[in-house]
Each structure stands twice: as structure tokens, then as C-alpha cells.
Structure 1
Amino acid sequence: MRRVLVVLAVLVLVATGCSGPGEVRVDVGPEVVVADEVTHVKVTGLGGGDRVEVVAEATDRAGKNWRASASYEADDVGVVDLDRAAPVGGSYGGVDGMGLFWAMNPPDGDPDQQFYLPEVNGEGPHAVVRISVRDGAKTLATATQTRRWATDGVTDRALTLAKDQVVGGLFLPKPDGKRHPAVLLLGGSEGGMSQALTAALLASHGFPALTVAYFGAPGLPKALKEIPLEYFRTAASILASQPGVDRAHVVAFGPSRGAEAALLIAENFPTLIHGAILYAPSAKVVAGFPDYLTSAWTLHGEPLATDDLIPVDRVSGPVLTVAGTADGIWPSAPAAQLIVTELDAAENPYPHKALVYPGAGHNVGTYPYMPQGTRVYEPAADHTAYLGGDRPTNAAAQADAWPKVLALLRNL
């Protein structure tokens, strides 16, 4: 009769492996890693064919304990390697070494309307992952790993309207005496400064990053309505002036409405913005939000006409578009391809490419391995929006696209 073992994996922000009673051991790799790094979970010391359940848990910023679990059978030598073993049941299916990370659910509420936000302490945002091997109620082995968004040496500074004429967060990597490509990040229709975690992560990879709010924050418009594109020019100038920034390679980055804004400023300020990374983009100018009878953007004090195709003939850097065919918000996959087609037609000399993922939704980005729902409540519009896709497909798209984003930046 098979003995049933339980491997308990808890997502937290500290990583060490320690063997439990007997011969069973679980290893998760380094104690501390960057939040987008792959973790290789391996259980050894089992009997051949033993069934193992792996349970992942992590406490979020609100104090909720997120959890995922899956059952596995040990191979002939008593090993369960999550990079190679498909679960026989549980929170995700198929071979995916990071499946337990993105498949976690909160203890209450609709998981498809919730998003994991990491805890924050003096070392910045982090998630702690604890992995335990158990036989029933008995713990046989444990391991923990800390996943950090801002690594040692990364600094951050808040930008204010009063001092800087923009609201944002500036994240700078540890100085190394060199100049590096930099990224200006713009959030979407959620408003506020929603891309701070992505900015911190980019700085951890060595890229200076500035994320800005352009509505839905104190001192800014309450809605996405007639936002001056010159506001982003001011932010880009601040970023370009940092000592570790290569001014010739400041890239605009945004998901959804932020992608629309990123493409607009790449086109209109080509001496300052040199290319764009666009997640779930629109190829056209979209109306304001939630008031669709207004214009979202202005340039030189004049509203931009809604539904006009965004020109790309002046874009002075590489463009990467990322989209899913099951986007529930707008047709971002055709838009992603159209942007690249327009760049071809304009004979743009810089690299440009569309990454289109079948079955992925609006949440096709950005960094991978964090659990995200497929629906979101939008207070401004007073409704729940279906973002499209499903969590496994979105997670696979994020895991594939994110390294390509980092490679684009490294190759500038």
C-alpha cells in the first residue's frame, strides 16, 4: 500500500532548504531570488511510486493566505521534480515547475476577481515561499524562499506634483559607473501608480525605471480625460536626466491604456522616447474613461480625435507588442499585429515584432509567476470587466514574453 506524503509549499520571501525527519528532503534553490526568477522545487528521499501532494501558500499585503496544491507520484528513484513531473490532480495541470506559484487562490472571495499583492517591509515588496513535506499531519521536511522585487542596491524616490510636476516613483539600480537603457512605465484604466512593482523589478535587472500616475491619484484628474501628452514628456525628461541613464535609449512601456499612451509619446516625442513595449495595446486613439464622450488625450492643448489610427512614422526605437487572442477588453491581438504592419509600411529601421498568444487575455503581462484573476471590478465604471483568457494560458504567455522584454532592453 502506498504511503501518502504531503509536500507543503508556502510562498513567502525567504529561501532555505532543511531536511525533516528521516530521509525526505525538499530543495527550492537559493534563499533569496528576484521575483521573476524560476524556482526549481525537488523532493527527494521518497519511495518509488509514492504519491506526494504539494501545497503552496503565501501571505499577501492584506494578510490573506493564498494557497495552491497538487498531487504527484515519485519516480522510480523516489524523486518528485516539479520541472518534469505533471500533477495527477490539483490546482494546475501539465508539467510546469512554477504552476503552484501562479495557481494560488485566496482563502475567500472570487479568486478570478483578485490579484496577489506582495507584502512590504523595510526591504521592499516580497513574497515568502515555504515548502514542507508532510505525511498526514506529520512534517517531514521544509524549505523557504524569499522572492524580492527590489534587490539590494535598488533605490526608490517618490515624485510629486509640487516638486517634479509629475506623480510617480523613480527606481534606480545600484550604480556601476555605466549608463543603461531606461524605462518609463504607464499604467492602464485602473489609474494611480499601478506599475510600481514592475518598475522595481526592472531596476533589479539593471534598468532605471520611472512609473507615473496620470489620473486617479491626489492632485491629478479623477478620470482618464484630456490627459496632456506633455505630462509624460516631463516624466521622460526626469528619467533621462538620471546619472545612470543612457539618454539615447529611454523606452516607453505600458499595458492597455498605458500601451496606447506609450505609443503616442514614442511617436510624438521621438528625440526623447526611443521605442515602446506595449502589452494588450490599441492601434487607435481611444475615448476617455469612464466617459466615452470625451477625449482621453491632448497634444499642444488640443484633444486627440477618437478612433484615429496612431501614426508610427516618427518612432525612433524598437517596438515590441504583446497580446492575447482572447482579450475580453478590446481586440488587442489584431492591434498588436497592425502596429507592426504600420511600422513595416513606414520602413521603420528599428526592430519591431508582435508576440500574439492564442487563448491569452488582457492580462497577458507583465512579469510572470504571480496569481492573477481574469475579471476586475472597475469602480470608475461601476462594473466588473472580463479580461479574457484563463489563468494557465495567461501565465504561460507572461512566462514566455517577459524574458523577451528583458532581452530587448539588454540588447539596446
Structure 2
Amino acid sequence: MMLRAGSRLAAGLLRVPHSYAQLSRLVSLSVAPQSGLADDRLHITVQGLSPKQQVTLRALAVDEQGCMFDSCAHYEADSSGNVDLQRHASLGGDYTGVLPMGLLWSLSPSIMEKPFQRLENRSVMKSPIIIELLVHKGYTDPRALPGQVAAKTKIERQFYAPGVRRIRLREGAVRGSLFLPAGEGSFPGVIDMFGDEGGLVEYRSSLLASHGFASLALPYVAFEDLPPAMTEFHLEYFEEAAKFLCRYPKVRGPGVGVIGTGKGADLALSMATFLPQVVAAVSISGCCANTAANLSYKDFTIPGLTYNMSRVQVSETAVFDVSEALDDPLDPANSQCLIPIEKSNGTFMFIVGENDLYWKSSVYAQAAIDRLQQHNRNNFKLLTYPGAGHRIDPPCSPFCPAAVDRVLGVPILGGGELKAHCQAQEDSWQKIQDFFHLHLR
């Protein structure tokens, strides 16, 4: 029997044909907000079921390359015929327990897609991520044999709030995108950088702008006329970006902040150490040393801590474990690679997952803190999350324990456990904003 599209209620509910309802009930699926920011929490409810009726909730999304992602969870309606993901536990599927955002957290490549792909939006101003939610009758595996659809609806996950502006930059040597919040300003300024995958990554900057920050998404490799690979770094490039942001008319001075993940994190530490314009730095899953390539500034150079690929292990599923590949920054032979953060007049926030299997970020963060304390400095805050892995993104980002590395072209193990990792993303996101508001007054 062919499904017929139902009419949409004013509240955003999707009616389904009467013949699908049990006991003449009208099953409805409600999501609030139906269109909102990508870091907004959702309230998902199903109504009109029979008491104790078993259903499977499913989420479907397609990324910019056409790759499909899905997730599912099993629920049992309460005595009133309702399922409320804020109160009721999933009894099976991709997760169990009371996880209101579990359907989004557990989105992963569908069975017909290549594994180890990450659902992310790199063209944040073009279109939102559209997620379709469905209610299937019974406990089923929708990937293999989906049950009859009782209700469905679509939601939009936007990466910028109304009024946010994006300005593409070719300012001197600086490349990237400047995101400005709605309104006249002035706004605290933040430079945003990611890891060694390169290119322009904008989704965190656009969300920061949606929460009141003038955010510069700053690429430093493999973008336009920037170097195609990490062979050497010149801190003057990052200094030029910091000076540009400081003097921008809508940015509140005198200093700016910087946030970085992975390689972007140790660059953030170096910027806060050597550049007076940078007064606050957030290091997410970073290293206490300069990694990968030499970093030069004026008359000195910090050597790059190197990788030894002979220490890489490969699992039976062809996932690469690189957790031991980086040389030990705490080995006295590598002391010249350490970033002398005790020289900084700024303030640091270190965010790490204790199950980071990309490298030992929790050890590196503690080493940085020890160095500060040895110099009688207390200009730091540490957020450490048991069970979290490497890539700690803004909240509601799907958990991806292993993903294809764009440089190596193979899946790299990042570590972590779904619930702990995604809760770390939620907790750290607000604390990052509070940190910048405090130190960029």
C-alpha cells in the first residue's frame, strides 16, 4: 500500500493517514524547535500510540557530498500512548537509556555508504542540514527491514542565526571567513582553527557568531594560495590575522581570543604565548609542544615534534591507531619543541577527553599546566572529560569514534564513548563561551 503525504499542522506536526493508526488513533511526531541552530537541543515526542506500543524511531540525513547517515532507537509508549525522549529510555538500537539527543548523536554512515565518514557542514551559509525523523511500528532494524511508518517529519539544523554576516577574506596574506553577529556591535573577537586536515572549516565560527562573537575562521594550510601541506609555519601569518581582527571596527578590543582543535590547538598556545594581541586561548585536544613542522617567528624557531609512523598499529577493520606515533614531548631530547607558555600574559583553557586515542591530549594538557605552575602562574582552567575522545565539537555533533583523515586518506581512531563524548561537547561549549566573555571584556 502506498503512503500518502499528510497535511502539516500549524504546530509543525505531521499527520499520517488514518489507516496507519492503531485503534483509530492519530499518531503524531513533534520536534521543537523544528528549525533552529545546530547546537540547539531538541524535544522529540510521539503521541497517539497505544499504551505500551513498541516503536522504532529513526533519523536520516544527507551531507553535502550526498552521503546518507542514519540512526535508530527502540521505545515503548507509556500508559497514555506517548513517547518523550526527555523522559523515556531507549531500549535498544544505536543507544540505550534516556538520551534526548541520542538520535542525532548516533548518526553514522548508512550501510550502503563508505564507513568512517563524518557528518559535518562545510558550506554553512548555503543550506542547513535536513534531518528526517520517522516513527516505525515495532522493534525493527530500519536499515534492513523497516517497519510500517506511523509518522514522520523533517527538521532543519542551521549553522548561523538570523542576521549573522559572513565576509570572505583576502586581507594581505590572511585567508578565511569573518562571521559577524547581528547588530551594530562591538563584539568580542575570536580566531578559530582546526587540525592538520587543512582547508576552511566554518561551522564553529558561524555558531560562535550566532552567540555574539566576531569569529574569524582561519585556515593555515591547503586553502587557496596557502601552502598545500604542513612543511613550515610562520607565526607572522597568525599575527597578521590577530592584528586584523583587533582593528576591525565591530570588534571589541584591545585583545582577541583564539580557539583551536588538534594542530590548531598548539598554534593557539603559540599565538597566546608570543602575540600580545591574543589574550585568551582555548586548546581542544592539543599538544603542549609545537607539532608536525617548524614554527618560526622573527629571530627564533621552535622545531616541530615529529611522528614515527612505525609505531602506528592497524586493526582488523583497517582502522589506524596513531596514538603512539607522535614523539614524546616530555622526553628531555624534545624539550626544544615545547611551547614556553609561561611567557604568556594571557589566560588558557585546556579541554581534553581522557579516552583521546589520537594522541595523549590529557597528558599534554597536564604537562602544560605543570609548566605554568612551576613558574607560579595560575592563568589556566582545565576541563577534562572521562570517556570523551579526540574531536570535541559543538554540541549535537554526531559522535565519530574513527574517521577518514583527509591527509593520510585512511580511517584514524579518535576514541571515546557516545554518551560521555557527546555530554562533553554539551558541557564544554557553554564554558568556552563563558571563558571568552570573561577574558574578552
After TM superposition, the structure 1 stretch with the greater mean CA deviation from structure 2, 216-225 or 367-376, is: 367-376
Equivalences, count: 382
Select 2:267's aligned residue among 254, 261, 282: 261
Shift of 1:120: 4.8
Q: 2:286 is aligned with what amino acid? A: P
Does the 8 Å contact 1:60/1:119 carry over to 2?
no
Please tell me whether Structure 1 or Structure 2 has the larger radius of gyration of its CA atoms: 2
In the alignment, what sits opposite 1:217? 223
RMSD after superposition = 2.3
Query: Any stretches of 5+ residues in structure 2 without a counterpart?
Result: 1-10, 19-24, 139-146, 305-333
Q: 1:26-37 counterparts in 2 under 5 A?
A: 26-37=29-40
Residue 368 of structure 1 pairs with residue 395 of structure 2 = yes
Shift of 1:249: 4.3
Shift of 1:24: 2.3
Q: 1:128 is aligned with what amino acid? A: I
Once the two structures are superposed, what CA deviation does each residue of 1:351-397 show, in whole Å capped at 9, x if it has no partner?
x211112232212x121222243233345446543222244432232
Once the two structures are superposed, what CA deviation does each residue of 1:318-344 show, in whole Å capped at 9, x if it has no partner?
321111122222210011223233334
Q: 2:57 is aligned with what amino acid? A: V
Shift of 1:78: 1.9
Q: Which runs of 4+ in 1 moved over 6 A?
A: none
Once the two structures are superposed, what CA deviation does each residue of 1:59-94 show, in whole Å capped at 9, x if it has no partner?
211122211111101122222111222211101122
Select 1:101's aligned residue among 93, 104, 107: 104
Once the two structures are superposed, what CA deviation does each residue of 1:142-166 show, in whole Å capped at 9, x if it has no partner?
3332110012111112112xx4311
Select 1:318's aligned residue among 347, 360, 374: 347
After TM superposition, the structure 1 stretch with the greater mean CA deviation from structure 2, 242-251 or 71-80, is: 242-251
Shift of 1:139: 4.3
Give the secondary-structure state (helix, strand or coil) at the position aligned to 2:432.
helix
In the alignment, what sits opposite 1:9? none
Query: Any stretches of 5+ residues in structure 1 without a counterpart?
Result: 1-14, 289-294
Select 2:296's aligned residue among 295, 298, 304: 298
In the alignment, what sits opposite 1:193? 200
In the alignment, what sits opposite 1:41? 44
Shift of 1:313: 2.5
TM-score by length of 2: 0.80
TM-score by length of 1: 0.86
Percent identical: 30
What is the CA–CA distance in structure 2 between the aligned matches of 1:93 and 1:248, rounded to whole Å?
A: 48
What is the CA–CA distance in structure 2 between the aligned matches of 1:375 and 1:180, rounded to whole Å?
A: 36
Give the secondary-structure state (helix, strand or coil) at the position aligned to 1:41.
strand
Q: 1:186 is aligned with what amino acid? A: M
Once the two structures are superposed, what CA deviation does each residue of 1:29-79 show, in whole Å capped at 9, x if it has no partner?
123211101001011222221112100011211122211111101122222
What is the CA–CA distance in structure 1 between the aligned matches of 2:356 and 2:272, rounded to whole Å?
A: 24
What is the CA–CA distance in structure 1 between the aligned matches of 2:345 and 2:242, rounded to whole Å?
A: 15
What is the CA–CA distance in structure 2 between the aligned matches of 1:303 and 1:120, rounded to whole Å?
A: 36
In the alignment, what sits opposite 2:252? 246
Select 1:277's aligned residue among 276, 282, 285: 282
Once the two structures are superposed, what CA deviation does each residue of 1:296-327 show, in whole Å capped at 9, x if it has no partner?
x1111543134332122233333211111222
Select 1:171's aligned residue among 165, 168, 179: 179
What is the CA–CA distance in structure 2 between the aligned matches of 1:138 and 1:379, rounded to whole Å?
A: 39
Sort the Cα spacing of 1:377 and 1:55 in 2 relative to 1 into closer, same or farther, 3 A: closer
What is the CA–CA distance in structure 2 between the aligned matches of 1:327 and 1:225, rounded to whole Å?
A: 26
